[in-house]
Chain A
Amino acid sequence: MSLPSSEHTIGPFFPRTLFRDGDNDLTIAAEGAAPTTKGEVIILRGQVRREDAVPCLNMILEAWQADAAGHFDHPLDPGRDRADPDFLGWGRAWTDGEGRYEFRTVMPGGYADPAGPRAPHINIAVMGAGLMRRAQTTVFFPDHESAHAVDPVMALVPPPLRPRLVAVPGGTQDGIRVFRFDIRLRGGPDEETPFFED
């Protein structure tokens, strides 16, 4: 048996050179690959801020989600065989000078988990200077209220905080629906984004 290694901050210097165009585009599984054809392409964007609502530049965000039908290409998914081969489900973005990030992806599907029926959601991990451990949150989407009501993760979030985990419709861009999800790393109880233990 081994004990896990300690987490540390990613710091301010995670190399720009480890990013490539398209890292924040989940619809493309590899450079030069054809985009997935399954599901509705969406844009998820927002702003990361810290105490006193100051925008955080150079934060690293990683997204992880099921494909449009709610499957993961992973042995822990009994529906793995039906996972979209053109969708990896993972992407990475970094925030600009105003703390803004953006992902392009497909609307995730919900799925039946042993813990309960999961509503469509995208897990987001935030890393950056000042965060010794990654901050983990989950983005839900509007128009799925009945699914949110029975989601086993949403059920653990105190009711007044639940709306903070639901992205806000932000119109369309080139015919693609845009959702806005702002992240407040640290703020008062009335402001802070709910984060999860791991």
Chain B
Amino acid sequence: MNPIAVAIVAWVFIGLDAGLRDAFALGKTGIAPSFVIAFVTFIAMYAPAPAALWSALIIGLALDLVFQVPGLGGGPALTIVGPRIIAAVVGVWLVLTLRGLMIRRNPLTLGFLAGLVSLVWFAALAGLFALRHAISNNTAVEPSRVLMEGLGSSLYTALVAALLALVLMPLAPFMGFATGPQNKFGRRG
């Protein structure tokens, strides 16, 4: 894996999430696709396991730093590090266990796996914030709302990821990922 190329593409995808999320949102439902989840899934499909896990951790950290969380009762917004790191790592772990069974060259595979990662991601976020609320409630994040919106967003992310595969797969050699043919055991030949 070429870490510099992956960092550049990750930067673009975080920018896409920060800038384009509203344009793709379904009305006022809060349902919107995540480009970063699709990219994290793509890394997990092709990178060696340690590199995929470290990438998830670093991208999760970047997301936690970029996107603040609203404070309770109109209070100041908070920079909370941790939730997206854990969500990304859990999602990548899921892909690492499943990728041997998948036909990685099929764009629909990225869509399917990104949908799964997104489900796990939002479930992890909802669970973590429920835990945090039980300890000290100083954020306006509602775990139930995150989970409900997450279900719709996961489906949407899966659709967008299947389309993004058409862009990401040609970029794979640039990021140092081998996308060659696989043998029947799921390993690249």
Whether chain B is bound by chain A comes out as no
